[in-house]
Amino acid sequence: MSQTVRGVIARAVGQPVELVDIVVPDPGPGEAVVKVQACGVCHTDLHYREGGINDEFPFLLGHEAAGVVESVGAGVTEVAPGDFVILNWRAVCGQCRACRRGRPQYCFNTHNAIQKMTLTDGTELSPALGIGAFADKTLVAAGQCTKVDPAAPATVAGLLGCGVMAGIGAAINTGGVSRGDSIAVIGCGGVGAAAIAGSRLAGAARIIAIDLDERKLTGATELGATHTINSSGLDTDAVVAAIQALTDGFGADVVVDAVGRPETYRQAFYGRDLAGTVVLVGVPTPELMLELPLIDVFGRGGSLKSSWYGDCLPSRDFPMLIDLYLQGRLPLEKFVSETIGIGDIEAAFAKMNHGDVLRSVVVL
Ligand SMILES: NC(=O)c1ccc[n+]([C@@H]2O[C@H](COP(=O)([O-])OP(=O)(O)OC[C@H]3O[C@@H](n4cnc5c(N)ncnc54)[C@H](O)[C@@H]3O)[C@@H](O)[C@H]2O)c1
Ligand SMILES: [Zn+2]
Ligand SMILES: [Zn+2]
């Protein structure tokens, strides 16, 4: 059995997304069908549609979602119909080397649904990040459903499913930001702004927001930035000098690159203090190359890290962050710039490119 619902697909590089009928199979063993209630528009969806992730078109876009479990397949015990869940793209396997040595956040065999969702003509869809939630319903592995307190609105909860978790985790989990630290965040869209909110939560003393767009810097200040740098028209040396000027001449303990370009990476690399940490969370496109003097990589010490999904463990981090939100300690609602319909995703991409929004959230 299966059901036909609406979904948003990208058919080919550069083509506008289309709202079409998709076929969602009933859940098989270990799978769940989730009725999607809200799904944020993440820059990674646009990377998919531009062919920047891989070429497995057509993609079923959307991956930052919350909803209610509709049905589960055989053997599913972790969730049941009616549960309010955030969808995650890190359903850890428990078996791989990373899982067995107690580092499941680095699991390299994460679970997705085994069956395929399709177009009505049978063409198999590639769900973005194994989720595909710009759709009335989606089929996922049961482990991709993380139960959280249903008191949180879906529009807010869903954001933890990708960008906001990636940003908070880039600062706290990967960067290890804690009380008294200084941090600079380059690029203050949804991901970077979340790194700022996470740094405040962790007790960072100086939180420097860097962006080309003054509106993003205003938003970052509302989320906890103590200082801002508008880097539009500034070269690497000037950005580094500005970070140093705000950190007693030293540079920041941690710099998060939430853009993912060679120039922003160089700003991060030189903008941190000696022995400081760079966290790359922005996703570069495949053609980008980085050149750095190797002697500087050696001589400046510290660590150069990448952060996939904020090194999160959904079962540990999602319920905790939702609880902090419900207690008024993490203003997730500030990330929702607008709610839109499922037909408005191209317009949301344009707004994202123009810097008009932190997050547009599709409500279903
Ligand atoms: N690593 C992960 O797990 C993960 C998860 C989600 C998203 N991402 C990636 O994070 C990045 C940011 O995503 P987002 O949703 O916040 O995007 P966004 O488009 O909302 O934000 C990007 C921000 O960067 C700013 N910016 C662009 N170029 C800049 C520059 N040279 N210097 C300073 N600021 C600059 C823009 O003005 C904008 O505010 C994307 O590459 C996305 O794919 C990574
Ligand atoms: Zn594993
Ligand atoms: Zn995303």
305-345 pLDDT, tens digit per residue, is: 999 999 999 999 999 999 999 999 999 999 999 999 999 99
Question: 44 C-alpha to center of ligand 3: Å?
Answer: 5
Angle, vertex CA 73, rays to CA 162 and CA 104, nearest 5: 40
pLDDT (mean) for 290-301: 97
285 pLDDT exceeds 90? no
- Confidence band, pLDDT 50/70/90 cuts, at residue 1: confident
* Closest listed ligand to the CA of 143: 2
The predicted structure's pLDDT at residue 234: 98
277 pLDDT exceeds 90? yes
The predicted structure's pLDDT at residue 90: 97
| pLDDT mean across residues, the chain | 97
Ligand 1 atom nearest to 163, measured from its CA? 6
| Contacts with 305 (C-beta within 8 Å, 6 or more apart), sequence order | 174, 175, 277, 278, 279, 280
Angle, vertex CA 256, rays to CA 252 and CA 262, nearest 5: 105
Entry pTM: 0.95
Q: For a pLDDT cut of 90, what percent of the chain falls above it? A: 98
How much is the CA Rg of the chain, to the nearest whole Å? Answer: 20
* Closest listed ligand to the CA of 90: 2
The predicted structure's pLDDT at residue 14: 84
Ligand 1 atom nearest to 281, measured from its CA? 1
Token pair 């939560």: residue: 201
Residues with CB under 6 A from ligand 1: 42-44, 47, 162-163, 166, 186-192, 210-213, 216, 231, 258-261, 263-264, 281-283, 307-309, 352, 355
